[in-house]
Chains A and B, each alone.
Chain A
Amino acid sequence: MGANQFAAMPHVGESVRRVEDARFLTGAGNYVDDIRQEGQKYACFVRSPHAHAVIKGVDATRASQMPGVVRVFSGQDIDGKVGGLPTGWLISNPDGSPMKEPAHPFLAIQRVRYVGEPVAMVVADTLEQAKDAAEAVDVDYDTLEPVVDMRKAEDGPALHAEAADNRCYKWVLGDKAAIDATFANAAHVTRIDLVNNRLIPNAMEPRADNAHYDRASGESVLYTTSQNPHLARLLLAAYVLRVPEHKIRVVAPDVGGGFGSKINLYSEDAAVIWASRELNCAVKWTAERSESFLTDTHGRDHITHAEMAMDKDGKFLALKVHSDVNLGAYLATFGPAVPTILYGTLLAGQYTTPQIYVEVDGWFTNTAPVDAYRGAGRPEAAYLVERLVTRCGWELGLSQDEIRRRNFITQFPYQTPVALQYDTGDFPKCMEEANKLADVAGFAARRQASEAKGLRRGIGYSSYIEACGLAPSHVVGQLGGRAGLYECGEVRVNPTGSITVFTGTHSHGQGHETAFAQLVAARLGVAIDAVEIVHGDTGRIPFGMGTYGSRSLSVGGVAVMNALDKIEEKAKKIAAHLMESSDADIEFTNGEFSVRGTDKKVPFAEVALAAYIPHNYPLDKLEPGLDETAYYDPSNFTFPAGTHICEVEVDPATGVVRVDRFTAVDDFGVIVNPMIVEGQVQGGVMQGIGQALLEQCVYDPDSGQLLTGSYMDYTMPRAADFPEFRLGTVCTPCTHNPIGSKGCGEAGTIGSPPAVINAVLDALEPLGVGDIDMPATPYRVWQAIQAAR
């Protein structure tokens, strides 16, 4: 099937209201903290109050004698007995040597390396008893000087013995000598220094675990807030517990948002499942929000210097980038890959820059581990490229759209100098549509009106590209990925014609139960409510890699489509038998099988019934049943792209930035459910505006204490912060999957921050402000204005 054929099917492109909403709106959702198991005990973690310290001893004598306490575990109980938390990616240095990969025990052994790191775990009959006893665990620390600022990491005290200079890796892509030669002869060079601010993901549902051990079967069941339950099971089985995989079942039921922070396999996940096996009872733990701030993986945190060489007409000749990136105290599951593989390879952006050289230094610091956060590496790349490109234009006297247009890639497929090959896109059209939707023509008049009120108005552009659905697996393997990145889909047609679909992707807000049901309903000509989508349970789903990188539809959806192809193929044979015809003459349309050129037909449900009650069935040639599984490993990434235009009003007296309107024209390829896609863009853009204007994770530079550890200190976007949205789409179908979809989950977060900051700088340019870092808070903006005076 081709993308155009797919797009024309019923239900595809329809804003079907969500199936999952009925339970969420009536309080019938089933999140991990809602689960109560027979005889469950409660865990409370004793966490390090220090950023860096030697543990001289953990004395649980007092705590162990307190009421209700079942057991107190510490690092001594696991040392040498169980494994640590692994990372999923191996990044190599320029000389081919591997990155430094220190051990990551799930309860600290001998040393703590960030505030909040689990040191001991108390298990008690009630949560209150566990909390009280946790207070009574005496930990004796010898504090060490912490490494908080990654720019000082190289000369700071070593966190890990294997990395004396605190460098995890240096990662390089491109030919430095060739680039230097180009720079030496360039007509113009534009330089920029940027900070990509550290963020805390803040899914509204705090992380939670509830594990149960069945002594009879030796099986553990872990209910956990995960975006990728199969990956969690694989890592727990192979690295942590070292038990056969079939003895662990991981269930991620309703999960309240992830944004990347629920990819990582956490200490608490490992500790809870391990303790339940040790104690032979169910153990439950739910994070308090303060624990989420301290220990959920954080995002971004880059310091970058970049230079663009151009000819006299503003044509890009070469891009040179150096980034220092903070990996935190330990390597998270995707941690090493995010600021390298998912960052450096995106630096071509939408432009024909023929030469690119990027160098990344990854540092260990005494801060929480850093991992994927919505966009994961791609927002960092887009922020750099789009801030730099706008500055290139300004230095050459070219408008933001003109400098981009002069450098847009227009021929596809396009091989970038940074490994990726874009299959398709229409960058000029996205920009043209965005210009119209944003009413750029009317900007000058709006600016005048703002000025009349004493306000400064600015407009900012961002023409981002991203790479979704990481693939193919063999390439991911060459890049250091330790897992495959295919997806699995099983379609089980039930005897009475209803359909259960098992997908290895996971929905934590994305609406798969609706969008995937649309696919199936379209393909089989059945009603949407005859289809049930099952996800998030390793006990029910053959296998899966979970949801991140906007991969669910373009990888997982295709796996389901491929399984549906197999269903159709088999069903046609059954139908041919029922209608006493040959397989080749059977057609399948709108849920009915017919014999070409005759009026014979048989509905899908009848074929399904025949498959399970094979009284009149070609048993000599065909097995009974109608249940097919497909694994899909894409041949390339998908490349959603678009242009975002932000318009802001700045009050120079207070420094307050108000986003007046935000326009996004995105090319997601074929869209299955426009309502869901629009919701993803709105939420993503809001998170991007949050990064640009509000959010910042701050550690005290001397002590390494987290200063933004609550919603009173970490500024989340709220309802009143919302701008007027103007959303549009362009469609160039993905060329290498049968449904033409590219993914939409992260585009908003990737495209929006540079558009916002470019707009702020455009507004402040007349006041002499040339640069500002995110978040552009009133304080920072006001200071920048004062400094420019």
Chain B
Amino acid sequence: MKVELKVNGQAVGMDVAPNTLLVQFIRDHLRLTGTHVGCDTAQCGACTVIANGRAIKSCNVLVAQMQGAEITTIEGLAGADGSLHPMQAAFKECHGLQCGYCTPGMVMSGVDLLAHQPQATEAQIREQMEGNLCRCTGYHNIVRAVQAAQKTMAA
């Protein structure tokens, strides 16, 4: 079947099998491999992307459900000149990543969180980030990074 949507601002149209997951479409068809698969079952959040302004786990939706949608992946977050998004910059500054595998999902969840709750408290940030698993950092610096981005983005 034919799917048409926008990914990182670019219109894409492609023939895919109807059972193609959004994450397969992003990784295998578009070769945007920054979006990772950590559990295949919508539990770990490594595959988080933003679809029509909300963070979703792309391993858990079919691309067929995304007709006409606007998707942002980790590759689409930095500025055209390569400047990092404040959330990306904050993760680097606060050492919010180690092996980097959960990172794209964490960053996308953080962006979504602040888009909807710009005033989120630390407790709310911790609560909201529960859908993303990280085994390396112990989360402390991830939460600090989201808080740091919160400050930059408010400024």
User: What is A's interface to B at a CB cutoff of 8 Å?
Assistant: 17-18, 20-31, 33-34, 36, 201-206, 254-257, 259, 286, 288-290, 508-511, 675-676, 678-679, 682-687, 710-712, 716-722, 725, 748
Contact = CB atoms under 8 A, between A and B. Distances in A.
Contacts of A22: 92
B143 A25 contact: no
B142 A719 contact: yes
B41 A682 contact: no
A201 B133 CA distance: 13
A47 to B, nearest CB: 16
Contacts of B101: 29, 31, 203-205, 256-257
Contacts of A204: 36, 38, 44, 46, 99, 101-102, 133-136
B98 A511 contact: yes
Contacts of B95: 17-18, 675-676, 678-679
Contact of B135 (A23, A685, A687): A687
B38 A289 contact: yes
Interface in B66-120: 73-75, 77-78, 84, 88, 91-93, 95, 97-104, 107
A204 B134 CA distance: 7
A27 B44 contact: no
A29 to B, nearest CB: 5
Nearest to B107: A25
B65 interface: no
B75 A27 contact: yes
- Secondary structure class of chain B's binding surface, majority of residues: loop
A509 B141 contact: no
B98 A719 contact: no
A719 B88 contact: no
11 contacts: A24-B97, A27-B75, A204-B36, A204-B46, A204-B135, A254-B100, A256-B36, A683-B138, A686-B137, A711-B43, A720-B130
B32 interface: yes
A513 to B, nearest CB: 11
Given A257-B136, A683-B137, A25 B84 contact: yes
Given A718-B130, A720-B130, A24 B100 contact: yes
B133 A686 contact: no
A426 B124 CA distance: 41
Given A22-B92, A25-B97, 16 more contacts: A25-B100, A26-B34, A34-B33, A203-B99, A204-B38, A204-B46, A206-B38, A257-B135, A286-B37, A509-B99, A510-B98, A511-B98, A717-B138, A718-B130, A719-B130, A722-B140
B92 A25 contact: yes
B97 A21 contact: yes
Contacts of A259: 135
Contacts of B37: 33, 206, 286
Contacts of A675: 95
B147 interface: no
Contacts of B141: 679, 682
Contacts of A201: 135
B39 A17 contact: no
Contacts of B44: 204, 289, 711
Nearest to B82: A26
A256 B135 CA distance: 10
Given A28-B34, A675-B95, A256 B100 contact: yes
Contacts of B103: 24-25
B126 interface: yes
A634 B38 CA distance: 37
Given A21-B91, A204-B133, A712 B43 contact: yes
B104 A27 contact: yes
A205 B36 contact: yes
Nearest to A686: B138
B41 A509 contact: no
A679 B98 CA distance: 8
Contacts of A18: 92, 95
Interface in B14-52: 27, 31-41, 43-44, 46
B129 interface: yes
Among A17, A21, A719, A748, the one with the most B-chain Cβ atoms within 10 Å of its Cβ is: A719
Nearest to A286: B37
B130 A288 contact: no
A682 B98 CA distance: 11
Among B33, B46, B126, B143, the one with the most A-chain Cβ atoms within 10 Å of its Cβ is: B33
Contacts of A678: 95
B99 A26 contact: no
Give me the 3 closest cross-chain CB pairs, A-B, nearest first.
A27-B34, A256-B101, A24-B100
Nearest to A725: B140
A286 B32 CA distance: 17
A686 B139 CA distance: 8
A717 B133 CA distance: 8
B100 A711 contact: no
Contacts of B38: 204-206, 289
B46 A27 contact: no
A255 B104 CA distance: 15
A263 to B, nearest CB: 15
A127 to B, nearest CB: 9
Given A24-B97, A26-B34, A679-B98, A722 B126 contact: yes
Contact of A31 (B32, B36, B91, B135): B36
Contact of A710 (B43, B134, B143): B43
B10 to A, nearest CB: 15
Given A509-B136, A716-B133, A289 B40 contact: yes
Contacts of B75: 26-28
Contacts of B123: 720
A509 B100 contact: yes
B100 A20 contact: yes
Among B74, B125, B129, the one with the most A-chain Cβ atoms within 10 Å of its Cβ is: B74
A722 B100 contact: no
Among B32, B134, B141, the one with the most A-chain Cβ atoms within 10 Å of its Cβ is: B134
A17 B100 contact: no
Contacts of B88: 25-26
A710 B142 CA distance: 24
Nearest to A688: B138
A718 B140 CA distance: 10
Nearest to A716: B133
A255 B136 CA distance: 12
Contacts of B143: 719, 722
A681 to B, nearest CB: 9
A675 to B, nearest CB: 5
A676 B125 CA distance: 23
B135 A21 contact: no
A722 B143 CA distance: 10
B130 A17 contact: no
A660 B39 CA distance: 30
B135 A719 contact: no
Nearest to B109: A719
Nearest to A34: B33
Contacts of B99: 203-205, 254-257, 508-509
